[in-house]
Amino acid sequence: MALRAKVLYDFHSENPGEISIAENEVVTLFSEEELEGWLEGENSRGEAGLFPASYVEIIRDHITSNNNGLSLPQAKVQTSYTPSQSQRGFGADSSSFHTSQGSDDDWDDEWDDNSPVANAPQGLGSSPPLHPIATSLPGRGSTPQHQQQAKSSATVGRNLNRFSTFVKSGGEAFLLGEASAFVKDGDRICVVMGKHGPEWQEDPYPFTCTIDDPTKQTKFKGMKSYMSYGLTPTHTNVQVNRRYKHFDWLYARLVERFPVISVPHLPEKQATGRFEEDFLSKRRKGLIWWMNHMTSHPVLAHCDVFQHFLTCGADEKAWKQGKRKAERDELVGANFFLTISPPSVPLDLQEVENKIEGFKAFTKKMDENIVVVNTSINEFARKQMSGFKKEYQKVGQSFKYLAQAFELDQQVYSVGLNKAISYTGEAYEAIGEYFAEQPRQDLDPISDLLDLYKGHLSNFPDIIHVQKGALTKVKDCPKQEGELHDRCNIISFATLAEIQHFHRTRVRDFRSQMQHHLRQQISFFQKITAKLEDTLQRYDDDQ
């Protein structure tokens, strides 16, 4: 029986030798061995060629299926798990890794120019993983059969793709028992069984953190200037000053440290909004959202590097010390999983798989639909600021014209009416302004929220890939070591806890933002009503 694979994402061939494949299409594989992230096969249109291995999922017959009455031993070749180049943030973390090794001198650069973190994370949605770069395309017809056999002799094979998130995140190394580090009690992260499944242990010391308007700071006797944000966490109530690049550095640390936690994306480095609103104000709002997500995450909120960031004062030496410590943190990647204390309850693998699949479908749909929402509300905002305003103002202006005509009749019984109509004209002009100002109050915040969630949604494919990688590896060797199972469960518990946290945060954020929006809309329409009521009274003056 020919080896087949189901296509997970659309891939459009860009180079000779590649073939295009479409989501849900079933392709025939010439070999299940991938080379540098590519597989060779034939698509449903009969075209033969290469496509990214990460875009397909090999279809396997289960060992239990009664195929022609024969019970075949399950193939030991592992399915590939998104061998993308750093899926999370699309290259952001890999470039950030470099930052982390940069000398402290780098910190004195202009606040947002020449930053070594050139590719700040952007909310790109749950797009398919990047396919292997064309330059690494293997020659057609190459038959790396030996390589595979050499590997498949191992009971629990390593993933061939060294760029796989599963591998990069350290998930594979941990699963294979290769992780090793000393975990202090303070570093322990507990997953507990809550009412709705596994969840991060509730934060016993919750806190929040305010972010002030940024202030312009200078150094080197005014030669260099940068913007500084005053942060005041509620648990210390001491303000510290941070620049955007500090946030950026912190973000890189967090992404490296927590493979299955969705670290909120920082606001975009350059924001050119439809409102041409002050860039700094927009960035500050983005940072507030970011901070809010950080402080409300039980794991992120209390990790050392974040605490250092929030609490280290102006003492340059202390700062550098904490910075170096964070950059040398051993509990990153594979070792992160060592810090997790799972609940002592069994996990049903099928149930876990279903939950993960359900969540995958959820994120895909949410990602698609928030694009629609964002488009609609941005367009609605634009219309209110242009069309709606213009219409009300045109009507207002024409009422004023009417009043001007009426003013030519200065009889005493006309004067009151003339004034009232003129006032009505002004009221309509004011209402036009109300419309133009309103989107900032109630549509922009939703848009900001959607941006933040777009970031989260683009994190989850990688998180899911790590969990799925672990699960598949365990399923491939069902009777192997109990420790493998335990380690896989740790990954599953962490993933499920993070999904639970995502849902809770999502429900909280969207509820409060929709409420905020509606309250703002209500007071907006009440303001209009009050203006009109005031206007109506002008007509009573000289009845």
Asked whether position 539 contacts a second copy by CB under 8 A, the answer is: yes
Exactly one of 158, 269, 285, 383 binds a second copy (CB under 8 A); that residue is 383
Q: State whether residue 29 is helix, strand or coil.
A: strand
Asked whether position 398 contacts a second copy by CB under 8 A, the answer is: yes
184 is in an annotated binding site: no
The DSSP bridge partners found for residue 4 are: 28, 59
Asked whether position 16 contacts a second copy by CB under 8 A, the answer is: no
Stretch that binds a second copy, among 109-117, 265-273, 329-337, 390-398 (CB under 8 A): 390-398
User: What is residue 207's DSSP assignment?
Assistant: -
What tokens does 413 get? Answer: 């019984």
Rounded to whole angstroms, how far apart are CA atoms 301 and 83? 30
Rounded to whole angstroms, how far apart are CA atoms 38 and 55? 9
Asked whether position 358 contacts a second copy by CB under 8 A, the answer is: yes
Exactly one of 209, 310, 377, 449 binds a second copy (CB under 8 A); that residue is 377
Exactly one of 13, 122, 236, 414 binds a second copy (CB under 8 A); that residue is 414
SS3 assignment for 318-378:
HHHHHHHHHHCCCCCHHHHHHHEECCCCCCCHHHHHHHHHHHHHHHHHHHHHHHHHHHHHH
Return the number of the residue (76 or 360) whose C-beta is nearest a second copy.
360
Rounded to whole angstroms, how far apart are CA atoms 434 and 528? 8
What tokens does 44 get? Answer: 């449903």
The DSSP bridge partners found for residue 27 are: 5
Rounded to whole angstroms, how far apart are CA atoms 143 and 124? 36
Rounded to whole angstroms, how far apart are CA atoms 315 and 221? 20
Asked whether position 354 contacts a second copy by CB under 8 A, the answer is: no
Asked whether position 321 contacts a second copy by CB under 8 A, the answer is: no
The DSSP bridge partners found for residue 189 are: 340
Exactly one of 26, 133, 134, 361 binds a second copy (CB under 8 A); that residue is 361
Exactly one of 136, 154, 401, 481 binds a second copy (CB under 8 A); that residue is 401
Return the number of the residue (287 or 499) whose C-beta is nearest a second copy.
499
Return the number of the residue (223 or 408) whose C-beta is nearest a second copy.
408
Stretch that binds a second copy, among 22-30, 262-270, 484-492, 519-527 (CB under 8 A): 519-527
245 is in an annotated binding site: yes
Asked whether position 497 contacts a second copy by CB under 8 A, the answer is: no
Answer whether 50's CB lies under 8 Å from 33's CB: no
Residue 222 sits at φ, ψ, to 5 deg, of: 85, 0
Rounded to whole angstroms, how far apart are CA atoms 94 and 173? 19
Stretch that binds a second copy, among 175-183, 243-251, 270-278, 379-387 (CB under 8 A): 379-387
User: What is residue 263's DSSP assignment?
Assistant: P
Answer whether 216's CB lies under 8 Å from 227's CB: yes
Ranges within 186-225 binding a second copy (CB under 8 A): 196
Note the Cα 472 to chain centre separation in Å: 25
Exactly one of 158, 235, 419, 504 binds a second copy (CB under 8 A); that residue is 504
Exactly one of 97, 207, 275, 406 binds a second copy (CB under 8 A); that residue is 406
Return the number of the residue (133 or 361) whose C-beta is nearest a second copy.
361
243 is in an annotated binding site: yes
Stretch that binds a second copy, among 117-125, 225-233, 248-256, 388-396 (CB under 8 A): 388-396
- Placement of tokens 């028992």 in the chain: 177
Q: Could you tell me the end-to-end alpha-carbon distance of the chain, in angstroms, rounded to an integer?
A: 94
Binding mask 423-462 for a second copy (x = CB under 8 A): -x--------------------------------------
Burial annotation 375-399 (CB, 10 A radius, 16+ → b, else e): eebbeebeebbeebbeebbebbeeb
**Minimum separation from the CB atom of position 442 to a second copy (A):** 11
Size of the site for a second copy (CB under 8 A): 65
SS3 assignment for 91-151:
CHHHHHHHHHHCCHHHHHCCCCCCCCCCCCCCCCCCCCCCCCCHHHCCCCCCCCHHHHHHH
What tokens does 96 get? Answer: 């950030």
Asked whether position 177 contacts a second copy by CB under 8 A, the answer is: no
Stretch that binds a second copy, among 42-50, 106-114, 371-379, 466-474 (CB under 8 A): 371-379
Asked whether position 320 contacts a second copy by CB under 8 A, the answer is: no
Return the number of the residue (475 or 531) whose C-beta is nearest a second copy.
531
Asked whether position 372 contacts a second copy by CB under 8 A, the answer is: yes
Query: What letter represents residue 68's amino acid?
Result: N
Which helix (H) or strand (E) is 397 found in, with range?
Answer: helix 389-406
Residues found in the chain: 543
Q: Which residues are annotated as a binding site?
A: 243, 245, 283
Q: Which residues of the chain form contacts with a second copy (CB under 8 A)?
A: 196, 358-359, 361-362, 365-366, 368-370, 372-373, 375-377, 379-380, 383-384, 387-388, 391-392, 394-395, 397-399, 401-402, 404-406, 408-409, 411-414, 417, 420-421, 424, 503-504, 506-507, 510-511, 514-515, 518-519, 521-522, 525-526, 528-529, 532-533, 535-536, 539, 543
